[in-house]
Amino acid sequence: MNRNHMNNEKTSSTAGKGGGRKLRNDIIFIAALLCAVICLGAGFYFLRPGGDEVVVKVDGEVFGTYSLDRDTVIDIRTGKSGEQLNRLVIKDGKAYVEQASCPDGICAAHKPISRQGESIACLPNKVVITVQTRDADHGPDIVA
């Protein structure tokens, strides 16, 4: 009981005297923490290893896998009789959707993708294009 009472006195006195200093330290700590997290996030984002192929999935089924090394144009035809189109272009190691039949055109507006895990999705046509590394079992290159 005695110990607890002393503890209590100590906390209340420190809150009174060093309150401003501690509050400042709190703010510095939180700011430093958030900065560290943002730097870490940015680091992860920009240092993501580049992928070397894109996988096109239509409604969850693999439509095709294409290397990023070769410049190509792939017409992804979907819908009952292939009336829907997403034209995927691979150029200079990056993949983007050049033209799409979907009403919103979000996929066509998406910036070119080249890093592992990046993806472009066209929800109306149920098309998802994802960048991956050729041999996924080996995991990301540790040296890189």
Contact call for residue 35 and another protein (CB under 8 A): no
Contact call for residue 33 and another protein (CB under 8 A): yes
* Binds another protein (CB under 8 A): choice among 13, 17, 23, 79: 23
The piece of 10-18, 56-64, 70-78, 87-95 that touches another protein (CB under 8 A) is 10-18
> Residue 28, Cα to own-chain centre: how many angstroms?
29
* Binds another protein (CB under 8 A): choice among 13, 17, 30, 64: 30
Task: Tell me, residue by residue from 53 to 92, as one string, x for binding to another protein by CB under 8 A and - for no binding.
Answer: ----------------------------------------
Asked whether the CA dihedral 110, 128, 104, 79 is positive or negative, the reply is: positive
Map tokens 């996988």 to a residue. 55
The Cα–Cα gap between 1 and 18 comes to 25
Q: How many Cβ atoms sit within 10 Å of the Cβ of residue 89?
A: 15
**Rg of the chain's alpha carbons, rounded to an integer?**
26
Binding-residue total with another protein (CB under 8 A): 23
* Binds another protein (CB under 8 A): choice among 7, 65, 67, 72: 7
Maximum distance among all Cα pairs of the chain, rounded to whole angstroms? 83
